Amino acid sequence: MKVVIVGGVAGGATAAARIRRLDEQAEIVVFERSGYVSYANCGLPYYIGGTIGDPEALTLQTPESFLSRFQVTMKVRHEVTAIHPERKCVTVRDLESGREFEESYDKLLLSPGAKPTQPRLPGMGMEKVFTLRTVEDTLRIKEYINQNRPRSAVLAGGGFISLELAENLRELGMEVTIVQQLKQLMNPFDLDMAAFIHAEMRRNGVNLALGHAVEGFEEKDGGVDVLLKEGAPIHGDMVVLAIGVTPDSHLAQEAGLALGLKGSILVNDRMETSAPDIYAVGDAVQVKHFVTGEDAVIALAGPANKQGRIAADNICGGDSRYQGSQASSVIKVFGMTAAATGVNETAAKRAGLEVDKVILSPMSRAGYYPGGKLMTMKVVFEKGSYRLLGAQIVGYEGVDKRIDVLATALRAGMSAIQLKDLDLAYAPPYSSAKDPVNMAGFMVENLAKGVVKQFYLEDVDALPRDGSVTLLDARTVMEHSQGNIPGFRNIPVDELREHLDELDPSKPVYVICQSGLRSYIATRILAGRGFDCYNFTGGFRFYDAVTHDRALTEQAFACGMDK
């Protein structure tokens, strides 16, 4: 059996190694148009910033190492220019010599990946406007920075690459501005959770121009003016486009293979395309979202690796199936970690799901053990069934551990209530006896049993201030004096019983505290005396972070720039 693989990196390289492990006799040929067949995409910004000092560290495997260990022929700087399914061969161009030839196959695997989205805007293709996707892109940016010592950069886009690159350029002492068409960074997060990411970026000197669409680029004063649809141009010594990626599916399209969402390659759960003996994996293919069941294109390394393994199994006569992606991700944002799995509240509602949520601010360690850090967790679940739909966490310690637990629970089909039953490792330096994941489960169970009712950030402004309801702040007097929501009366929870005769039991009571815990205790005190109570999920800390971020974003938008 002869297998030809188009594209290396995550999916193609994984498939090549797996095929060899399953079939010692197979002939395996990989064509990769770049000069690197297996490299760490996610590490590229960290080489630019100097965290990774050796460029060879980005290369996971070389053609020589693949040949030595797996007897796989890796041909770099070779571009497949056409697929001929009827003749079971591909046309290949040697990019160094210009020679073209045909290569036959018994099985063909497409792993072309995705290419940076490059809209047709005036000024595209300028020398100082870069994209970052390949090792070659990284080396060009690094060389330009070393030779020209730019003092400022504008990054167009607010996703993973943009945030990682912003951090690394700040480490080099550059002024950095991120321009994003949406009024938030990081689409996997709801806007309220993205507020914490925005705050960390601003805290580290990154300027945010949110809600601005880029309309083009102009050379000016030795640099580049980024032209905005609304707002004054933003000047930088260099610009990096990181506005997303597009499936690189032109070969499949030209060969007549069926395409799906966003022009991606249509595959079944065996990673088979519409053409016999042709498989496809990675960022270029359409998959099913594990939570919603909807068609999706998810450009992440983890799914690509799994798909490469599954395709290899099936090429070798097995029957492996891809169960869908839940888009688990994590990112370092300066000192903060932000992570997500499943769908966020916004996406769940867009998919037509009836959703609810709990928001909590637990410590990463036992409260009495020094060094613990607060994190903010948002767990989204389906109303009625309490099916776990997704989670988002931002914080400074222990975030990756909790998101992986939640991702596993989601994959296992657990309900949000069942999170309370997870038997998780505990020692004071690492967690509390009631782990934050357990705490989320306890909160959902309380909702399910009617022990507590919630109100939300989006409800606060609409609450009447005419005396028809009681608005109660259960924090200390000192906390209340340092910031509060207008209209909320301050009665500390520990003094609440002494003031019950001042409250009207015929009126609903809406209670808030710093994190949601003391206000929950207050609602239980009140409910025990016949009051109809609602607890604010997330607490004042959450409310303050989100509303402060919104104010900054709107102010910056009005000025055309966040300084």
**Catalytically active residues, by annotation:** 42
d(CA 230, CA 212): 6
* Strands, sheet with 489-490, edge to edge from the N-terminal-most edge strand: 454-455, 533-536, 509-512, 470-473, 489-490
Report residue 309 CA to chain centroid gap. Answer: 23
CA distance 479 to 481: 5
Please say whether the beta carbons of 318 and 303 come within 8 A: no
In whole angstroms, give the CA distance from residue 155 to residue 72.
39
Sign of CA dihedral 516, 519, 520, 521: positive
* Interatomic CA distance for residues 516 and 190, integer angstroms: 20
Residues facing 3 on adjacent strands: 28, 107
Cα Rg of the chain (Å, integer):
27
Query: Which residue bears the tokens 């109570």?
Result: 533
Q: How far, in Å, CA of 270 to CA of 292, rounded? A: 20
Instruction: End-to-end CA distance of the chain: give it in Å, rounded.
Output: 60
Torsion angle in degrees (nearest 10) through CA of 13, 46, 115, 241: 180
Of 455, 444, 342, residue with least CA distance to 384: 444
Token couple for 304? 């690509």
**Could you tell me which residues are beta bridge partners of residue 240?**
130, 155
Write the CA distances from 509 to 265, 454, 461, 495, 502, integer angstroms: 54, 11, 15, 16, 13
SS3 of 134-162? CHHHHHHHHHHHHHHCCCEEEEECCCHHH
Which contacts of 480-489 are long-range, i.e. CB under 8 A and separated by 24 or more positions?
A: 483/540, 483/544, 484/540, 485/460, 485/512, 485/540, 485/543, 487/463, 488/512
| Residues 284, 112 contacting (CB under 8 angstroms) | yes
